[in-house]
Amino acid sequence: MSPPTVKLNDGTEIPAIGFGTGTALFGRDAENSIKLAIECGFTHLDGAQAYNNEDSLGAGIKAAGKPRSELYIVTKLKQGFGAAQVKPSLVESLQKLGLDFVDLFLIHSPRPLKPEDGTLQELWQAMEAVHAEGLAKSIGVSNFTVDDLKAILPGAKIIPSVNQVEIHPYVWKAVEPIVTYGRENGNITPASYGGLTPLVRAAGGPVDEVLPPIVERLTKILGKPVTPAQVLSKWVTHKGAIVVTTSSKEARIKEYLEASQVPDLTAQEIQAIDDAGAKLHKRVFMRHVFGE
């Protein structure tokens, strides 16, 4: 069963859950993980020039043998690259990936950007140019703050379709204004990474206490075990965001995909997770952009 999709502001559809090649796979051969993820049902694969493994992402795509039309491939412009590097670096990425186009090309981060590399607005214009050439079906951003969005939106011919940012309960208070601003200014879809942080990077925190009764209720309704990771994934979905996750383990890959079958959380359950999350602030990634 293919994962559900979400319609972006440019009319294209993005699978609501994606499999990443950063974090644990950063700089490492991703071929086997990608092949396994595709075989288990993932169609949305999240790469980046900075992960230094796009060739193995391409090898995994090839090895899985799924038609290109059924896959959704994302890559990101290396941090620190300016407008002049957008097209040549994307062409190089496409060669490594073995593809004619990516479904989504993101600016990985608004910083660092050296003055000699131009402004953020010029960087976005270069993204619009590769979109016009058909090298990227959709274009978007990652790790953009409200001020970064404000810097590019006034001159933009194309509104970014996605802003991929860290989203989990321990960073929600800080990220909610970015999500809201994006929604209200061109319907920019948030995509989340780091969603499992309460389980894997901040175990023992306040969210741990509110998950068991939710897991128990949903397990009863579904008639098979629901996991805390699936509840967190549902929470991210309820915040309107695409989930980008990863795993080296087949059982967990399947568990992530099965989260779409888990019944909705109630408004009270979402609020309980929000309230518990608000008791602890923990940002794991991109502190050079966001600070703590």
Among 16-24, 151-159, 169-177, 265-273, the segment contacting ligand NDP (CB under 6 A)? 16-24
Residues whose CB is less than 8 angstroms from the CB of residue 288 and which lie 6 or more positions away in sequence, other chains included: 111, 112
Number of residues that bind ligand NDP (CB under 6 A): 27
Residues 261-290 that bind ligand NDP (CB under 6 A): 285-286
Nearer to ligand NDP, 23 or 119 (CB): 23
Among 80-88, 189-197, 215-223, 265-273, the segment contacting ligand NDP (CB under 6 A)? 189-197
Residue 168, token pair as written in the block: 């989990």
Residue 178 interacts with ligand NDP (CB under 6 A): yes or no: no
Q: What is the C-alpha separation between 52 and 36, in angstroms, rounded?
A: 20
Tally Cβ neighbours within 10 Å of residue 116: 7
Among 61-69, 83-91, 218-226, 242-250, the segment contacting ligand NDP (CB under 6 A)? 242-250
Angle made by CA atoms 25, 16, 128, in degrees to the nearest 5: 80
* One-letter amino acid for residue 241 of the chain: A
Which residue has tokens 């608000």? 278
Nearer to ligand NDP, 159 or 229 (CB): 229
Residue 260 bridge partners (DSSP):
none
Do 48 and 164 meet the contact criterion of CB atoms below 8 Å apart?
no
Whether 72 sits among the annotated catalytic residues: the reply is: no
Residue among 105, 124, 193, 235 that touches ligand NDP (CB under 6 A): 193
Which residue has tokens 């080296």? 248
Residues 96-155 that bind ligand NDP (CB under 6 A): 108, 142-143
Q: How far is the CB of 256 from ligand NDP (least distance, A)?
A: 8
Q: Which residues are catalytic?
A: 51
